[in-house]
Structure 1
Amino acid sequence: MKNFYIILFFLIGFISAFSQQKTYCNPINIDYGYCPIEPFVTQGKHRATADPVITFFKGKYYLFSTNQWGYWHSENMLDWKFIPRKFLRPEHKVWDELCAPSLSFINDTLLVIGSTHTKDFPIWMSTNPEVDDWKELVHKHQAGAWDPQIFWDEEKDELYMYYGSSNLYPLYGLKLNRKTFQPEGEPVPVLALNDFEHGWERFGENNDNTFLQPFTEGAFMTKYNNKYYLQYGAPGTEFSGYADGVYVGKSPLGPFEYQPHNPFSYKPGGFARGAGHGATYQDVNKNYWHVSTIGICTKNNFERRLGIWPAGFDKDDVMYSNTAYGDYPTFLPSENKNHLTNHFSGWMLLNYNKPVQVSSTLGGYQPNFAVDEDIKTYWSAQTASKGEFMITDLGERSTINAIQINYADQDVELMGKPETTLGHKYILYQSNDSKNWKVLVDQSKSTKDVPHEYIELQSPTTARYLKLVNIQMPTGKFAISGFRVFGKGSSEKPGLVQNFVPLRSGPKVEGERRNVWFKWQQEPSADGYVIYFGKSPDKLYGSIMVYGKNEYYFNGLDRSDVYYFQIEAFNNNGIGPKSEIKKAE
């Protein structure tokens, strides 16, 4: 009998381990606050944050971002608990409650400071940030830094600060006194944009630089293998091509050299677009990740979300962030995951541009906007009443592994970070004939605020139709920007893409070498394509996801360098083979 209980104990542990969720999906699902700034909500109140930073501290991940009136912590990078906290004092008459905050640690102490152009912001410290337990380390910090990062060079036990946000001035670095934390000496210019050479740094949605000089901001330092990787965001937070680049140096204040493989964090296509102004951190297994800003920018240029991407350094110490299929289900931290090859779950989007049925429609917020893979568009019901629904038709019986429900903000009434909300209440049904329905997920009694709800099923199910029925919204109407179903279809994945051609002006021909025009033959069964690019055939770390087209204009090349390109097609059944690598002088 004793042996029986021992075996039963291990079986329960084994089953429990395999029932734990193993993936997440961008944008990450946290209870984002609502924009607290009146002039920014004239076109509609909405959720907003950006400029994130995560650090792993005392066994937990801590996440800070702009204007959230608090912060989050998590044990697994999936379930985030919000801790309410205002860090500014009453005399600070500013809109932003910690804009683009710095988050770092020294030994057993976590440090936080927000952006300011004045010299009266405190540096806060905590040895127990799991609860609201903070005190001032420095009452008035004299740097006056916007978009700051405090960097502790642990090996040297030295402190530095990097900062700046401008389309006129460079980013700066300065050394901080190890005891007082105040600046030592004058700021040193460490990095400036060179958009004449680097196409991806040009301003504009398509890097066309038509009316403004590009912005650089979001300085962040990572030390790896005795090298200093100074990261920066460009060209503007409101654009799909918002990205992070990196310069590398041998000392904390430089000089720094542009890493040839840039931008290292870049996601201009797909559902969730943008991967700039972020931070790089290590997980519990010492693997690297990059958290950054995703743009919605519909009701205001600063309507944004957060994304987390697998990252790392290759054998040649080149820094990268893997955003290919980065808004599909992605594996959570694991000891054995290779961030260049094994980050993606392989679960495909099953309902891209497939038929939908809805209970009602508000004006021009059409139903198919919920399945068009564009986070900027959305369907809205006429009300938030119980019973409003959306049905998505997968086109065939398919294996379903996960569902992401991305709510949109239509006629919401909240601003700032409410202490409590009603949460999102819903029921998700499945069917094979759209007549006989069975409950798949019941959240009718939930009180959780889940603006980007992600459900990984404990075991896959098979169905053709899913029906999302609203029970209650926290505020506003029942509106969906992305009802996304992931798994595998029952047909064939696409074939090899034919006639892939990158058209670029040659080095001795008059033309714009920062641009390239991709053309290829449409693969009949493809939903979309992923184009890979880089400056070496074995370092195609950049990627662009394209839906429903057989061409793409890319304006993000560096003028002087040779590039290599490759393409693959994908659909609801899987990913097709990669094409031959093409070289463009």
Structure 2
Amino acid sequence: MKLTFNTLKKGLFILGFFVFSGVISAQQNTYCNPVNIDYTYMVYNSYKDLSYRSGADPAVVKFRNEYYMFVTRSLGYWHSKNLNNWEFITPDKWYFQGANAPAAFNYRDSILYVAGDPSGQMSVLYTDNPKKGDWKATTGILNNLQDPALFIDDNEDAFMYWGSSNRFPIRAKKLDKKNRFKPSEETFELFNLAPEKNGWERFGENHTDTILKGYIEGPWMTKHKDTYYLQYAAPGTEFDVYADGVYTSTSPLGPFEYAPNNPFSYKPGGFMNGAGHGSTVEGPQDIFWHFASMAVNVTIGWERRIGMFPTFFDKDGLMHSNTRFGDYPHYAPDVANKNGEFTGWMLLSYQKPVTSSSSLDGHIASNLVDENVKTFWVAKTKEAKEWIEIDLQEPSLVKAIQVNYNDYKSNLYGKIPGLYHRYLIEGSIDKNTWLPLVNQSKNFRDVPNDYNEVHVDQNVRYIRFTNHHVPTPKLSISDIRIFGIGNGKTPNPVKNVGIARKEDRRDAMITWAPQKNADGYNVLWGIAPDKLYSSWLVYGENSLELKALTTNQSYYFAVEAFNENGVAVKSTPIKVN
């Protein structure tokens, strides 16, 4: 049946009032990385007039069936009932400069502990009311800690792990919980990076070796059944390949064994890269989630966001996070029987024609659809007259839209109350009549990475964004990402996959025959055909140089093609010794 605009109008009529009232974004069953919270503007480069938001090193814990997220230098923390909708808490008492790479631990649902003084000299803070935030401090002082991780075992034994160095290993001390968390005299050295064996631990973008060594940092302990999973980050927070690995043991202090599928949390491709220095929490429906740092790295290397990935322990005890299509829409943690699965909503806007009301030199409108957070569009003003129009080229079913703002010369510092973004997104078949898809024109929230489902079950071809208000001096957006389902064919399965493991066994070159109608490819690999836990999303290429392998490990590789209509069946896994 030919789709006419009258059909679209009829389908939208009932929803019209609710869209304009802003109700459409209130209840969402999906999420899309990066996590859309009111990230704090950093202050420690203000003397250079460098203004940027950042959120990193998330410590997420469950406390009395609700969740708290502590984030580096945020001057407070966030609270959620479902791991999807977060509200910022300004506590009664907190670190003056915000916590740095904080530790957090729920003790028997009675006390919530936190540590993370930026100086590295710290007491353990505690409260039984984190919503109020009346934090108190133990009188014991822990010295020379960066990136602490607190863990209290079932038998009441307590431990502090820490590490943030390209020289020293992850270390630990036993703590006397009954005596002000007094640390043991003995320091336990647990493990360090071994980049000569583990390719992913090499410093640099795409693990390109430099004169600097990789950093081991951000430990986090998770006990699952009778196994202790001590997680750690490498090689550097500013890189596309920042990731988390894990060692396992039957004891909190080891000896620890390197997991063969490391890094278990790894997201080097796509719109926003990185999945390192995080924490693992058991969420709704007893599903685990790994929260981690993602790199923006535009204004400065420490400009970051937070990503969340469903995480599992397989029958062999291997811990693994699902980062496949890791910045596309996934089902939210509280959606029954979905386990954080990929929705199947594809990116409709990639490299589509874009026009705009205005743009500054060097920051053109095509940056809005290039799937690169490091490029961005800047309008000449921040006024409500500024607009963007994207031509999807074919009528498509739009399911969700994500607007990622950029801090171009924002000149904002600290946790500033009252920031908000307002805009309207409309859809059309013919560019003559427009109806609303996402209405944030009366929004009062600070939404720097705003993601909204579109509850309109009709096709549109043209998408128009109209600015109403931004809190920054300029209107600047890195990408407007439109997700849904196209009306064409999915690509054919990839053929002629070739794997050439190099003389340096940490490296491999993966090649495949390009598909004419493919937008991109996922390269999948793992230690068994049914354990292809790692992935790298590639746009516009039919090869990938992978430098993340472990020298003494065999791997299986597969490739799957995708476009705006769906994902092809992946190729048959190929084993490479």
TM-score clears 0.5: yes
Q: Is the Cα–Cα contact under 8 Å of residues 520 and 562 in structure 2 kept in the other structure?
A: yes
Where in structure 1 are there 5+ consecutive unaligned residues?
1-15, 91-95, 506-510
Work out the CA distance in 1 between the residues paired with 2:191 and 2:344: 38
Work out the CA distance in 1 between the residues paired with 2:46 and 2:191: 32
Number of aligned pairs?
Answer: 552
**Aligned pair in 2 of structure 1 residues 369, 188: CA closer, same or farther (>3 Å)?**
same
Work out the CA distance in 1 between the residues paired with 2:266 and 2:48: 28
Aligned to 1:283: 283
Work out the CA distance in 2 between the residues paired with 1:253 and 1:104: 18
Q: Is the Cα–Cα contact under 8 Å of residues 92 and 132 in structure 2 kept in the other structure?
A: no
Aligned to 1:449: 446
Aligned to 1:380: 378
SS of equivalent to 1:410: coil
Q: Does 1:494 align with 2:491?
A: yes
Which residue identity lines up with residue 187 of structure 2 in the other structure? P
Work out the CA distance in 2 between the residues paired with 1:226 and 1:30: 35
Q: 2:538 aligns with which of 538, 543, 546?
A: 546
**Aligned pair in 2 of structure 1 residues 418, 147: CA closer, same or farther (>3 Å)?**
same
Aligned to 2:20: none
Work out the CA distance in 1 between the residues paired with 2:423 and 2:89: 26
Which residue identity lines up with residue 554 of structure 2 in the other structure? V
Aligned to 1:4: none
Aligned to 2:65: 59
Work out the CA distance in 2 between the residues paired with 1:435 and 1:533: 47
For each residue in 1:157-207, what CA deviation from the matched residue of structure 2 results, as whole angstroms up to 9, or x when unmatched?
Answer: 211111010001101011110212121232101110000000000001021
Q: 1:433 aligns with which of 424, 430, 433?
A: 430
Work out the CA distance in 1 between the residues paired with 2:459 and 2:322: 30
Q: Does 1:125 align with 2:131?
A: no
Q: Is the Cα–Cα contact under 8 Å of residues 40 and 300 in structure 1 kept in the other structure?
A: no
Q: Does 1:527 align with 2:519?
A: yes
SS of equivalent to 2:246: strand
Aligned to 1:99: 100
Work out the CA distance in 2 between the residues paired with 1:134 and 1:365: 45
Superposition map of 1:124-163 within 5 A: 124-136=125-137, 138-153=138-153, 155-163=154-162
Work out the CA distance in 2 between the residues paired with 1:151 and 1:364: 49
Work out the CA distance in 1 between the residues paired with 2:520 and 2:296: 21
314-323 or 436-445, larger mean C-alpha shift: 436-445
Runs (4+) of structure 1 moved beyond 6 Å? none
Q: Is the Cα–Cα contact under 8 Å of residues 70 and 86 in structure 1 kept in the other structure?
A: no
TM-score (norm 2): 0.93
519-528 or 177-186, larger mean C-alpha shift: 177-186
Q: Is the Cα–Cα contact under 8 Å of residues 110 and 126 in structure 1 kept in the other structure?
A: yes
- Aligned-residue Cα RMSD (Å) equals 1.8
Deviation, 1:338, is 6.0
Work out the CA distance in 1 between the residues paired with 2:211 and 2:141: 36
For each residue in 1:482-528, what CA deviation from the matched residue of structure 2 results, as whole angstroms up to 9, or x when unmatched?
Answer: 101111000001111111111113xxxxx211111111111011000
Work out the CA distance in 2 between the residues paired with 1:86 and 1:570: 49
Q: Is the Cα–Cα contact under 8 Å of residues 86 and 97 in structure 1 kept in the other structure?
A: no
Where in structure 2 are there 5+ consecutive unaligned residues?
1-22
Q: Is the Cα–Cα contact under 8 Å of residues 264 and 320 in structure 1 kept in the other structure?
A: yes
Q: Is the Cα–Cα contact under 8 Å of residues 41 and 300 in structure 1 kept in the other structure?
A: no
Q: Does 1:360 align with 2:358?
A: yes
For each residue in 1:39-96, what CA deviation from the matched residue of structure 2 results, as whole angstroms up to 9, or x when unmatched?
Answer: 5854x41111210111111121111110100000011222211011385567xxxxx5
The percentage of counterpart residues that share the same residue type is 42
Work out the CA distance in 2 between the residues paired with 1:67 and 1:89: 9
Q: Is the Cα–Cα contact under 8 Å of residues 510 and 544 in structure 2 kept in the other structure?
A: yes
Q: Is the Cα–Cα contact under 8 Å of residues 143 and 183 in structure 1 kept in the other structure?
A: no
Deviation, 1:383, is 1.2
Q: Does 1:78 align with 2:79?
A: no
Which residue identity lines up with residue 536 of structure 1 in the other structure? A
Q: 1:566 aligns with which of 558, 562, 566?
A: 558
Deviation, 1:139, is 3.4
Deviation, 1:416, is 0.9
Which residue identity lines up with residue 346 of structure 2 in the other structure? M
Aligned to 2:113: 111
**Aligned pair in 2 of structure 1 residues 118, 572: CA closer, same or farther (>3 Å)?**
closer
Q: 2:412 aligns with which of 401, 411, 414?
A: 414
